[in-house]
Structure 1
Amino acid sequence: MLTGSEEIAGIYQEFSKFPNPLKGWTGSQVSLKHGGKYCTIYSEWSQRDLERAEWVKFCREYIVFCDENSIVHTCPSGKCTELRGELLNRASPSGTLKAVLRGHTNKKGEEQQYLEIWSKTSKESSINLTALDKHGKVYEDDQFGCLAWSHSETHILYIAEKKRPKTASFFQTKLAFSAEEENYNSNKSKKCQKPVQGDQYLYWEDWGETLVKRNTPVLCVLDIESGNIFIMQGIPEHISPGQAIWAPKDTGIIFVGWWHLPWRLGLKYCTNRKSALYCVDLTGSECLQISSGVNSVRSPRLSPDQRHVIYLEGGNVKTHHQCYNLSLYNLDNKEISTVVKIVDYPIVDGFTGIYSSELALNCWASDSQRVIIDTAQRSRKDLIIVNSATGIVTSLITDSEAGSWTLLDIHQDLMVVSCSSPNCPPALKVGFLPAAGKEQGIAWVALDEAEPLPEIDWKILTFTPPFEQANPKFPGLQFESILLIPGHEKEVKPPLVVIPHGGPNSIFVVSWMLLPVALCKLGYAVLLVNYRGSSGFGQDSIRSLPGNIGSQDVKDVQYAVESVLKEGCVDSDKVLLIGGSHGGFIGCHLICQYPGFYKAFATRNPVINLVSKLGTTDIPDHTMVQAGFDFAPDQLPTPSVLTALLSKSPITCVSQVRTPVLIMLGEKDKRIHPTQGLELYRALRARSAPVRLLWYPDDNHSLSKVGTEADVFMNIALWFVFALDITNAA
């Protein structure tokens, strides 16, 4: 095992250099004079730059030569190029133009946003959106953001913050206020707003974790020829629009609208928010609600023939993530149908349902009938194809050595995918989609090679809870874990690091993850636990957890750990624990319920006290639902409910802790307020338990800034070395 700080830092530096693919798209196929065709594949990647302590985004391009529907040869086109200042970009449907949203800080330190139009040879135009002052900042996040070309390539659609009224103090000097009024009066024709006195500190409600300052999004349309920007009117005031696409023939805009009544609940990682599909015409005179609004919706995608819109639709489960229907809106007859239904209890080795957070921007085959989706299937991420006419689901990946697959793009039936495994970093592959009924015969060709890391093995373990731990309402449920084992020093059994995921309705899939692979290279075995309640195992598994947190999830993790220990491949006296968010909640329960079993615990932004969390989180409904109660925003929880919440909280049994605890908190966390971790820290300090607290003032719930993430890893690794030294000494 490696235990020195320089050795640990060296391992982290080595593996943090592997980039992650963000997106990709395929250019149109061009015919060659002497037969055959070729096209260009454009891809964007992110990479950690430890020296600059920031994420670096860069692009790679490839050329694919093909003959009919087979790939003849692929090669890179030029070198990687860093993308500086790009917030969003999108190629036009024909591929001849590209729109770029760019951020820039001027000499005065003011942030500016520009919308640029590029041709294949030069920049055609650049519009200073900030100077135009038509709206606030443009949204570039995954939740709301979009940058969509019209089918005619004459307009660009995007989403921005609604322009806020100017404000003035009650005590602003009369001269200054008169100047503001004079400016208002002279610009009435430009629809300037008169400053509002006393509203400088008015509270603007936002959409929570990672979506701060996202308050009132508006749909914006840029006319490329004139440079004019139009703010779409006619959208109901009780919804926030996002994920917008152009309607057929550019007659309107189809978008998702999220209700923000009675207030805005956190949206990040919460795909269950009340929402509906809408269509507004370009005049703003009519805004039609397409879906019922009973269930959540997201990711509308228009078919190539512009006759259907496919989208994801939730069910009646109130958890923040779940299994989803795949729904189809027929634009001809204005009818909605369900293509793929929610799977409650999957058959053994069968299709487990759709759990995607979003669909790829281009996910339709050229026949406008089949849709390609990447989704968790138990502990793997599979690539499936759905026939929208029949509802038949087929896996495109059979007997693959790669663990998980992600669709980046499909154009003219040429697919670009990313694939990786726990011991193999991401790489891109391309392949033509065969005709219907022959989908499993895809010949995948690698655009770049990624070799598996030597001396790291992995496998998926399946568990059936013992009879006494089975859920009586949902019997027969299984769960899984992913085990990474260092392949060297076979004569020495490695320590075991246990990591339950957060959520709790998220999942670990067998893909490339920096923390587990770096720990494995340091000499640790790593167990990633997908306890009952994880996504990818059917809706019944998700339904089984609410009301049973702190019990069912904790017992599943402990059962998985003890099962691995019985195999004798790891050191049973050196078991360590990592957990963040709900994983931290589980971890705190584990060190309380099994005192001394875990030799060290490292936790990021843990849930400690469900009662105090209720009033400080951006998702109070999550607390109530997972604890087994209904959430009523207009009612206070009763004393009996508060008692039940407290009884499920690990803070109540902290006196039993015998494990050294490292706590890492993000000051800007709106999901799990850092006071949760402070409660744990103070409770342990009061009992003279070994504890260390790290406070990151510029980070939020995920602690994912490059500098933060590196510091977190180093401190976890050294904390484990410290704990194992104590164990060895004893």
Structure 2
Amino acid sequence: MEPPLLNDAEEIAALYRELSQFPSLSSASIGPEVTTQYGGKYCNVYTEWSQRDLERAENIKFCHQYLIFHDSHSIVYSSPSGNCTEIKGELLSRDSPSGAQKAVLRKTSNTKGEEKQFLEVWEKNRKVKSIELTALEKHGQVYEDDQFGCLAWSHSETHLLYVAEKKRPKAESFFKPKAPELSSEEELAKTERRDKAIKGEQFVFYEDWGETLVAKSTPVLCVLDIESNNVSVLESVPEHISPGQAFWAPGDTGVVFTGWWHEPFRLGLRYCTNRRSAIFYVDLTGGRCELLSDDNKAIWSPRLSPDQCRIVYLENPASGPHQQCSRLCMYDWYTKLTSVVVEIVPRQSQGDFTGIYSTALSEHCWATDSQRVVLDTIQRSRQELIVVDTVSGSVCSLTKGSRLGSWALLTVDRDLLVARFSTPNCPPMLMVAFLPPAGKEAEVNWVCLEEASPIQEISWDVRTLQPPPEQDNPQYAGLSFEAILLRPTQEPKKAKFPLVVSPHGGPHSVFTTSWMLYPALLCRMGFAVLLVNYRGSLGFGQDSVDSLLGKVGSQDVKDVQFCVEQVLHEELTDPQRVAVFGGSHGGFLSCHLIGQYPGTYKACVARNPVVNVASMVGSTDIPDWCLTEAGLPYDQTALPDPRQGAEMLLCSPMQYVDKVQTPVLLMIGEEDRRVPPKQGLEYYRALKAKGVPTRMLLYPGNNHSLSGVEAEADGFMNIALWLIQHLK
């Protein structure tokens, strides 16, 4: 008898509604320390969460606050403070250094649907400033993203720094009728009201920074003088640099920022920590712009120490894989010397540290001693918190002995750590602890502020795999990889679970032992779910990342298939009911697997898959990815080479489309700039021509992630019903 598989559409929708309501924890900040009349100390922890609202078809944001009574070394008592409150229209918000004021960037829409942006300053229990930035016409839209965006208080709390789109000249048609003659006074008033429009510039193309950064082309640094309400745009940033991630230099003498080169043309930046960039300093008195770091690397997340003496940042080569193992570097403000604190780790030795893999450092990541830095990093299939001593370079885990799962740092302030913890069967929990003194970090004592109950119906574990000798990569011999297996807790007496195999995208990304909605839903429906971190994944050393270059479509495909065969051989899974499901490079692998191993898979779901690397190179925001992953050199100035096109085609799933028998569901984002929709359409047409059962869903207004609330919900329902239909 088969184990029960949830197959009623209404019951699946009810399950989706239940699990999709778990909120995700996005940010936290810590309020000023207060001493009571009895000598005890407490502070307020402010947290922001987001949750899917299926009725409104949007992600809503809400805040929840907590009180923590402590003695500066340990937490004495903690408790939620009041109920949650939904946050409306806030794009960015930051407390001032003393905690006395708060700055908010807010957007509103008028009755005509026109969007306006306001910069507000709040103090105690009232709003003391509200400046309509749109009306000032000093710049375009303010950036609220985490790539460029910032909202930084000066140390003196008199100025605010932010990033916005450069103001563009107004443009008009050559054939616009001339306005009637005006008197000189009227003409002068009109000129003061608006800039003179330039003819013939209406349809000029402006490059942007690609996927999720559409319409963000030329950022500028802007400073608001809070007392005078005056906004000024810093003019000293070099023309060929896009500035972002800015903060005030020690003593408020100027501004420090990360600058990305945009010559000869912009490449997609999201998830690409290999773009040429550097740290710069603009002196506000002299107006000069000074380079503080190497100018031939990729550099991001600069963070100033509490004593304002040192800046730490992450560094990668300005080429190669989009994400890889990073260096942690430090610049000394007074000696002007740069040092490498943590080096790139080629390979893990004896279960030790595998290196730093982090998309960003937390905005507040320094310990009070201005010597230690706390960050989260992937270590094999787990995300951990580590503390790095910038003097000795020693690395210590803050989470190694804790429950199996994954951790993310939200903030650290006065040595109070705020973190998020989750597992594949437990939604996010809010955790706090004091950072112990140097040398005693392993004694950290975590306290849970917001509990979440594990889902008892889901069990999971991590498997380590060693490829068979014939599949070893001689250049990078002996590498292992891992997979996370979720399965229903209640084991069937006789029959076996259907298996859904899921390789991640990237390919230089990773599945961590954290909460993921789709795998949890599939498991609750009755599927076993296998999440494969094939060689090339992050968290296993730089050698693992490099081993995949030039071997996509081969090494990664073999790793996934080897893992599947091992699980089918050992586990309570049914070899006759196996499906594959992946997005982006995971979609690329899904399409490869059904072409190279057509007998294994009875159903396939591919979200925005790469199917033809050769045809993608001319239309994606990351053309360098196509060549680099195929093992070819990338040069922005090079002309197309037919031999390179042939090699890119040879590593593509399109090579194997003749062998495909598996029914395929394609899910495509109409606004995808990373893997353009034409990729999915190309595969759809090829499969239809071969008579393979194929269905394609096209989601308007959705980009590469297909993360719009409506698309995500509809997508899951279609995936579930497709799997049920073809795994009977």
Q: TM-score range by the shorter chain?
A: over 0.9
Q: Secondary structure at the match of 1:175?
A: coil
Partner amino acid, structure 2, of 1:242: G
DSSP 3-state at the match of 2:164: strand
Deviation at 1:284, TM superposition (A): 6.0
- Partner residue of 2:569? 566
8 Å contact from structure 1 (residues 235, 284) kept in 2:
no
In the other structure, the counterpart of 1:136 is 140
**Do 1:245 and 1:254's aligned partners in 2 also have CA atoms closer than 8 Å?**
yes
Counterpart selection for 2:333 from 324, 331, 334: 331
Question: Hey, what does 2:271 align to over in structure 1?
Answer: 269
Question: Does the 8 Å contact 1:501/1:529 carry over to 2?
Answer: yes
Give the equivalent residue in structure 2 for 1:15: 19
Name the residue aligned to 2:157: 153
1:685 equivalenced with 2:723 (yes/no): no
Corresponding residue for 2:398?
A: 396
How far apart in 2 are the matches of 1:647 and 1:187?
Answer: 62
Q: 1:446 and 1:154 mapped to 2: Cα distance? A: 37
Checking the alignment, whether the CA contact within 8 Å between 1:595 and 1:657 is kept in structure 2 is yes
Q: Give, in whole Å, the separation in 1 of the partners of 2:694 and 2:370.
A: 58
Match of 1:650 in 2: 653
Q: Tell me which residue corresponds to 1:455.
A: 457
How far residue 343 of structure 1 moved from its aligned partner, in angstroms, is 0.3
Look up the equivalent residue of 2:167 and give its one-letter code: K
For 2:366, what is the secondary structure of its paired residue?
A: coil
What secondary structure is seen at the aligned counterpart in 1 of 2:17?
Answer: helix
Q: What is the rounded CA distance, in whole Å, between the counterparts of 2:593 and 2:449 in structure 1?
A: 44
Distance 1:127 1:338, change over 3 A: same
2:310 matched residue in structure 1? 308
Match of 1:207 in 2: 209
2:235 paired residue among 210, 233, 236: 233
Partner of 1:518: 521
1: CA distance, partners of 2:212 / 2:132: 25
Which residue pairs with 1:251 in the alignment? 253
SS of alignment partner, residue 700 of structure 1:
coil
The aligned amino acid for 2:468 is P
Q: Deviations over 1:589-621 (max 9, x none)?
A: 100000131110001110011111010100000
Residue aligning to 1:631 = 634
Residue of structure 1 in register with 2:38 after alignment: 34
Q: Which residue among 318, 332, 355 is the counterpart of 2:357?
A: 355
Q: Which residue of 2 aligns with 1:697?
A: 700
Equivalent residue runs for 1:175-194 within 5 Å? 175=179, 185-186=188-189, 193-194=195-196
Asked if structure 2 preserves the Cα contact closer than 8 Å seen for 1:497 and 1:527, the reply is yes
Matching residue's letter, 2:289: C
Contact 2:673 2:703 survives alignment (8 Å): yes
Amino acid at match of 1:417: A
Q: Within 2, Cα distance between the matches of 1:704 and 1:101?
A: 24
Tell me whether 1:540 sits opposite 2:546 in the alignment: no
Write the letter of the residue equivalent to 1:118: W
Correspondence for 2:601: 598
User: 1:296 offset after TM fit, Å?
Assistant: 0.3
Cα drift, residue 108 of structure 1 = 2.0
How far apart, in 2, do the equivalents of 1:532 and 1:688 lie? 34
SS in 1 for 2:82: coil
Q: Which runs of 5+ in 2 are unaligned?
A: none
Q: Are residues 1:660 and 2:647 paired?
A: no
Secondary structure of 1:665's aligned partner: strand
The share of aligned pairs that are identical, in percent, is 56
How far 1:568 moved relative to its partner? 2.8
Q: 1:716 to 1:119 in 2, by over 3 A?
A: same
Aligned to 2:288: 286
Q: What is the CA-CA distance between 1:35 and the residue it aligns to?
A: 2.2
Q: TM-score, normalising length from structure 2?
A: 0.98
Q: Deviations over 1:622-663 (max 9, x none)?
A: 100000011111112322111111111111220110100000
Which residue type is aligned with residue 257 of structure 1?
A: G
Shift of residue 520, structure 1, vs aligned partner:
0.5
Q: Is the contact made by 1:170 and 1:197 (CA closer than 8 Å) also made in structure 2? A: yes
SS across alignment from 1:643: helix
Partner residue, 2:679: 676
CA deviations 1:519-538 (Å, max 9, x no partner) are 10000111111111111111
Q: What RMSD over aligned residues (CA atoms) do the two structures have, in Å?
A: 1.4
Q: What's the offset of the Cα at 1:317?
A: 5.5
The equivalences for 1:42-57 within 5 A come to: 42-57=46-61
Contact 1:486 1:520 in 2 (8 A): yes
Cα displacement (A) at 1:123: 0.7
Cα deviation, 1:250-269, whole Å, max 9, x if unaligned, reads 11111000000110000011
Render the CA deviation track for 1:85-142: whole Å, top value 9, x for unaligned.
Answer: 1111111111111111111001222100001111121111100000111100000011
Q: Which amino acid in 1 is paired with 2:396?
A: T
Distance 2:182 2:466 in 1: 74
SS at match of 1:571: strand
CA spacing shift, 1:68–1:499, aligned 2, 3 Å: same
TM-score of the superposed pair, with normalisation by structure 1: 0.97
Compare 633-642 and 106-115 and name the one that shifted more: 633-642
In structure 2, C-alpha distance between the alignment counterparts of 1:418 and 1:180, rounded to whole Å: 65
Contact kept? 1:596, 1:657, Cα under 8 Å: no
Contact 1:508 1:530 (C-alpha < 8 Å) held by counterparts: yes
Please give the alpha-carbon distance, in whole angstroms, between the structure 2 residues aligned to 1:242 and 1:356. Answer: 18
Corresponding residue number in structure 2 for 1:728? none
What is the CA–CA distance in structure 2 between the aligned matches of 1:181 and 1:105, rounded to whole Å? Answer: 36
CA offset at residue 399 of structure 1?
A: 2.3
Aligned mate of 2:105, from 95, 101, 105: 101
Partner of 1:482: 484
Give the ranges of 4+ consecutive aligned residues of structure 1 lying more than 4 Å apart after TM superposition.
178-185, 187-190
Q: How far apart, in 2, do the equivalents of 1:622 and 1:293 lie?
A: 22
SS at match of 1:102: strand
Aligned to 1:585: 588
- Number of aligned residue pairs: give it: 723
Distance in 1 (CA, whole Å) between partners of 2:342 and 2:524 is 41
What is the distance in 2 between the residues matched to 1:486 and 1:370? 42
Deviation at 1:67, TM superposition (A): 2.2
Residue 63 of structure 1: aligned partner: 67
